[in-house]
Amino acid sequence: MRLALTAAFVLVALPAFAADHAVEIKGMKFVPATLEVAVGDTITFANADGAPHTATADDGAFDTGRLNKGQSKQVTVAAAGDHAFKCLVHPMMKGTVTAK
Ligand SMILES: [Cu+2]
């Protein structure tokens, strides 16, 4: 009985523990460029470069907007699937967020 109650609590409580993932933008690259997250998780993109960057999902799932040096932005990944993203200022900078 106690075990069942504990299991029920864990199942109900899980969505509250959305994780935050960190991506550094450095040397004209996303580090890491490939992430696996759970739906509802957040990702904080931080720009360490002198150049401005964005992290913009091709499918519109998230967009940091323009980040200047030292700026960061937290986005929420609300939809499951593979979200390819790139920097709109430097379209050769690419990455993929896979949300399950
Ligand atoms: Cu860029």
What spacing in Å lies between the alpha carbon of 90 and ligand 1's midpoint? 4
What spacing in Å lies between the alpha carbon of 41 and ligand 1's midpoint? 23
18-99 folds as Immunoglobulin-like (2.60.40)
What spacing in Å lies between the alpha carbon of 29 and ligand 1's midpoint? 8
> Residue 32 CB: number of other CB atoms within 10 A?
12
Give 94's Cβ-side CA count (13 Å radius). Answer: 7
> Is residue 12 over pLDDT 60?
no
Give 98's Cβ-side CA count (13 Å radius). Answer: 4
What spacing in Å lies between the alpha carbon of 93 and ligand 1's midpoint? 6
Identify the residue with better confidence: 10 or 88: 88
Asked whether 18 and 34 are in contact (CB, 8 A), the reply is no
pLDDT in tens, 21-78: 999 999 999 999 999 999 999 999 999 999 999 999 999 999 999 999 999 999 999 9
What spacing in Å lies between the alpha carbon of 80 and ligand 1's midpoint? 25
Residue 92 has a pLDDT of 97
Residue 13 has a pLDDT of 52
Q: How confident is the model at residue 17 (pLDDT cuts 50, 70, 90)?
A: confident
